[in-house]
Structure 1
Amino acid sequence: MGSVKPNYIKNFADDLMKAYQGSFNADFEHNKDMVSMYTDIRYKTIRNRVAGYITRRVQIRGE
């Protein structure tokens, strides 16, 4: 079972996906690098949660 993501993670990921369409794919490592490049998140845990949520959203949509 997965965990429920907080709304600030979902909102932040959705904003990134809208602003940088086509930059994210189904690879977590790639998305992690893109999140750190596009943002100034200081905490590794939050960066990984955002990247993981983006990865999951892309996998579900089948992009």
Structure 2
Amino acid sequence: MPQTYNRAADYLDAAREMADSGRPALARLLAEEAADRTPDPNEAARILDEFPGGTLRRES
């Protein structure tokens, strides 16, 4: 069954998988998306702290 991304937890799980497989940039992007989908600002900050580094997003 294909992976779906409907919840912050889905993005966070994928971020951890990417970090474990040596893809820190992709892990950070997925963590940023998880944080964006998290209504609690403290939890969002905790998610971003788990995946250090600056944002890799391009804003248009």
- TM-score normalised per structure 1: 0.35
Q: Which structure features the higher share of helix residues?
A: 1
Larger radius of gyration: 2
